[in-house]
Structure 1
Amino acid sequence: MSQDTPLRSRSGNRLPPSPKASKPPGKKLRWGRLILIVVAVIILALASYAVYLYYGSWKPNLTKIAKQDDGQGTVEVKKGERAQEKPIALVLLGLDTRTETGSMNTDVMMVAAFNPKTKTATVVSIPRDSDLKLDGYKERKVNGYYAAFYSQGRKDTALEGDKATEYARGYARDETRQMLSKFTGISIDYTAVIDFHGFVDVVDALGGVKVTVDKDMRYVDSVDDTNIDLKKGEQELNGEQALGFVRYRKSNRGTAASSDFERNERQNQVLGAITDRMKSFSSVTKVDSLLDALGNNMRTDIPSAQIENIIKTYLGINRSDIRFIPLTGTWKSPYVYLDEDKLAVAKKALAEEMNPDGRPVAVPTSSPSASADSK
């Protein structure tokens, strides 16, 4: 694919923001941070069920998830490039594909690095409204680049129908990965795109999760059929309820609003609940439905052989081995301007994970986010 697209025109003065820029934070509920949970689900679920590689039920879903055969035979992974031999990095995109919104925004964007020597990972999340300030790219919110690259891919190809769609998706994945490689300063190998419905399906496949709801939560939006209605207290939530629990920011039905800090705490709580449930015997019996949930909602450009390598390499990884670093910044309409100190911490953490010897071993803490802040 050509790397010289009209989207990259950031030299000199910046272009004015598009009049169709999305609303400031707080106007609409976001998917924010859902990918954080789904990423952990993918890592833990696949690792926990690696034994199923020796049976046949996993193969149809792996075929769905993996890089598709290009007609030249099985996509091979060269010796020295396998996940068990070298660190790898992925771009993880949470794509809003709801028919009600018609959006292709990647409202959740993360860069994840994995190290086979230390069996650890670092996951950096990027706020959806961030201005990355990258030379050579038109100024826009970071969540809009994938859709812009997709449109450019459709424009550039002479293919039609499904082939044109697949080409444009591949173009968007490649361009997004290269852009974030430049932004983070590391070489990123692959891209994974996850539909938000995967979160709901995974929780349901596990039979729900037990959490403590910290306050009454009520929010209704007829546009996207959101209906959050939770009462304070410990309870078991199904997929849709858990989605509402981690999404909740504000109310239009008289309940108290929620801060980003509180949402982070709820995200960590759900992550722990998912981890606990997946380690239980009852969840092992649900492996087929769990793999179906992943297979139906995730697409990657990772060869199937490399996915198997990842599974085998990171068998048994714990959430304490995953360092989560959410970037922060200051909102000044229409962008979030990232905190340079926090960004430097994130870049250093990713570089450490990509070092063949891995990152320094830290004393485990009770919170993934607390561990990240201590680095």
Structure 2
Amino acid sequence: MRRLTVPVLVVLAGLVALGAPAVPALTRYGALPRAAGRPVTVLLAGVTPRYQENAAVWPWPVAPEDFTFLTDTLVLAQFWPGGRVNLLSLPRDTWVNLAGYGWGKINGANVKGGPELLVKVVQDLTGVPVDAYVLLSLNAVRALTDAVGGVTLDVPRRMKYDDNAGKLHIDLQPGRQRLRGPQAEGFLRFRKDNLGDLGRVQRQQLYLTALVNRVKNPLNWWRLPAMVGALDRNTRTNLTRAQVGALLGAALGGLQVNTATLPGSFGDGGTWVADHPALHALVREQFRDPNDPRFLTVAVVNAGAPDGSARRLRARLEGLGYQQVVISNGPRAGGPTTVSGKAAAAVQRDMGYGRVTREAGLPGADVTVRLGSDTKAP
């Protein structure tokens, strides 16, 4: 027994050391893998650092991260229960309508209205409901890359760039190689090529594919606690435990990654202007869940509810990611709230009240909600 005690204690100490980095994240988000009924869509946004411009030293030091600055990287990631992952990269210079602030580049949405505005802008642009967001600091790439033991990918060309003010020094030779944290950061941030932001998007996709391949390798699973810890220290998110469980369930299905870039063309001032017909075709093909009621047209009729109830329900459903909620006219009538049409049960669950019926819906609507006397006034 004495001979066994020391080896057992050493093994236990090793296991504790390996698992320790993941403890804070597990405390907040720990969940068992589960098979979700629909895909989970997450907006991934890499936030650039602020610099203390009033500091007495040069180069200016980086200010403490508060995740409120410009977004350098934007990826819409949709995780399907079977393990399929669709990634849509959004160039940082995409020209969009920033609700309440006018037109501007999409990378300014987080500065003006935080992640809530950023999510709304992406939803309005793509028509894809976003379930959660993950904001990543500049250090996330370095920390996560080192946590997985580096990533192997092909550097397409010579990359040499020095920015003393931004403390960015890139020196990469072309060819297939293993990149550590600082090198991976340089690979992703390099912009001095003929493709500009599109070149960065392509490299982001190469990096994410290489990272997923490292995570999928069973020989690297012992690194998972370090990966979780690296993400937890360098992210801000509104993911719920249920959503984390669904993401873990998708990962256990074996991740198969598909990448795409927002269709479009260059506009004035180096902006990227979306090709909306091509984007809608891409969304229909890759990102639309036929069982997700948020893609359907929902007509709301106030049949016997307090004044303003239809507007309040529309706002509530839009807050849940519904894309097409319209208020329609109809005859006043007594009785409770009814929901009819395609996926009526799912809409009723999101409403939290009413009963599903088979009565005819309004023309052009997938789902018709007739608000009745059981609708509570605010």
TM-score bin, normalised by smaller chain:
0.5 to 0.7
Distance 1:353 1:115, change over 3 A: farther
Checking the alignment, whether the CA contact within 8 Å between 1:126 and 1:326 is kept in structure 2 is: yes
- For these two proteins, the number of residue pairs brought into alignment is 260
Question: What is the DSSP-based 3-state SS (H/G/I as helix, E as strand, rest coil) of the residue aligned with 1:60?
Answer: helix
Could you give the per-residue CA deviations for residues 204-247 of structure 1, whole angstroms, max 9, x where no partner exists?
11222233433332100111111111223443321111221233
Stretches of structure 1 lacking an aligned partner (at least 5 in a row): 1-51, 68-75, 77-81, 150-171, 251-256, 358-375
Please, which of 183, 188, 191 is the counterpart of residue 246 of structure 1? 188
Distance 1:329 1:311, change over 3 A: same
Alignment partners' CA distance in 1, 2:261 and 2:282: 6
Checking the alignment, whether the CA contact within 8 Å between 1:126 and 1:327 is kept in structure 2 is: no
Please, which of 166, 170, 175 is the counterpart of residue 228 of structure 1? 170
Paired residue for 1:332? Answer: 268
Are 1:304 and 2:241 matched, yes or no?
Answer: yes
Distance 1:221 1:296, change over 3 A: same
Alignment partners' CA distance in 2, 1:269 and 1:187: 25
Cα distance, 1:190 vs. partner? Answer: 1.6
Alignment partners' CA distance in 2, 1:354 and 1:58: 36
Alignment partners' CA distance in 2, 1:213 and 1:111: 24
Checking the alignment, whether the CA contact within 8 Å between 1:96 and 1:107 is kept in structure 2 is: yes
Paired residue for 2:94? Answer: 130
Paired residue for 1:207? Answer: 149
Are 1:290 and 2:227 matched, yes or no?
Answer: yes
Checking the alignment, whether the CA contact within 8 Å between 2:83 and 2:256 is kept in structure 1 is: no
Could you give the per-residue CA deviations for residues 290-327 of structure 1, whole angstroms, max 9, x where no partner exists?
2211111122111224312321243133234x343334
Cα distance, 1:337 vs. partner? Answer: 1.9
Paired residue for 1:107? Answer: 72
Could you give the per-residue CA deviations for residues 15-57 of structure 1, whole angstroms, max 9, x where no partner exists?
xxxxxxxxxxxxxxxxxxxxxxxxxxxxxxxxxxxxx9xx887
Could you give the per-residue CA deviations for residues 36-93 of structure 1, whole angstroms, max 9, x where no partner exists?
xxxxxxxxxxxxxxxx9xx8874412446x59xxxxxxxx9xxxxx871233322222
Distance 1:205 1:135, change over 3 A: closer
Are 1:216 and 2:158 matched, yes or no?
Answer: yes
Alignment partners' CA distance in 1, 2:20 and 2:184: 31
Alignment partners' CA distance in 2, 1:129 and 1:222: 24
Checking the alignment, whether the CA contact within 8 Å between 1:89 and 1:190 is kept in structure 2 is: yes
Paired residue for 1:144? Answer: 108
Distance 1:292 1:120, change over 3 A: same
Cα distance, 1:187 vs. partner? Answer: 2.7
Alignment partners' CA distance in 1, 2:232 and 2:97: 35
Paired residue for 1:315? Answer: 252
Could you give the per-residue CA deviations for residues 80-114 of structure 1, whole angstroms, max 9, x where no partner exists?
xx871233322222111353576701122233333
Cα distance, 1:148 vs. partner? Answer: 0.9
Could you give the per-residue CA deviations for residues 129-177 of structure 1, whole angstroms, max 9, x where no partner exists?
222247755222111121111xxxxxxxxxxxxxxxxxxxxxx222332
Cα distance, 1:346 vs. partner? Answer: 3.4
Alignment partners' CA distance in 2, 1:352 and 1:147: 29
Alignment partners' CA distance in 1, 2:149 and 2:247: 26
Stretches of structure 2 lacking an aligned partner (at least 5 in a row): 1-15, 52-60, 294-378
Alignment partners' CA distance in 1, 2:92 and 2:202: 19
Amino acid at match of 1:105: L
Paired residue for 2:215? Answer: 278
Alignment partners' CA distance in 2, 1:215 and 1:334: 23
Could you give the per-residue CA deviations for residues 279-299 of structure 1, whole angstroms, max 9, x where no partner exists?
445522323322211111122
Checking the alignment, whether the CA contact within 8 Å between 1:131 and 1:141 is kept in structure 2 is: yes
What TM-score, normalized by structure 1, do the two folds share? 0.59
Paired residue for 2:43? Answer: 91
Distance 1:340 1:315, change over 3 A: same
Q: Percent identity?
A: 27
CA RMSD of aligned residues (A): 3.4
Distance 1:249 1:139, change over 3 A: closer
Q: Give the number of the structure with larger relative contact order, counting CA–CA contacts within 8 Å between residues 6 or more apart.
A: 1
Are 1:197 and 2:197 matched, yes or no?
Answer: no
Checking the alignment, whether the CA contact within 8 Å between 1:211 and 1:269 is kept in structure 2 is: yes
What TM-score, normalized by structure 2, do the two folds share? 0.59
What are the residue-to-residue correspondences of 1:4-83 with 2, within 5 Å? 58-63=22-27, 66=29
Amino acid at match of 2:229: D
Alignment partners' CA distance in 2, 1:352 and 1:264: 23
Alignment partners' CA distance in 1, 2:22 and 2:90: 32
Alignment partners' CA distance in 1, 2:174 and 2:270: 34
Alignment partners' CA distance in 1, 2:204 and 2:133: 23
Paired residue for 2:126? Answer: 184
Return the index of the structure with the highest Cα Rg: 2
Amino acid at match of 1:283: N
Distance 1:235 1:339, change over 3 A: same
Checking the alignment, whether the CA contact within 8 Å between 1:96 and 1:105 is kept in structure 2 is: yes
Checking the alignment, whether the CA contact within 8 Å between 1:131 and 1:140 is kept in structure 2 is: yes
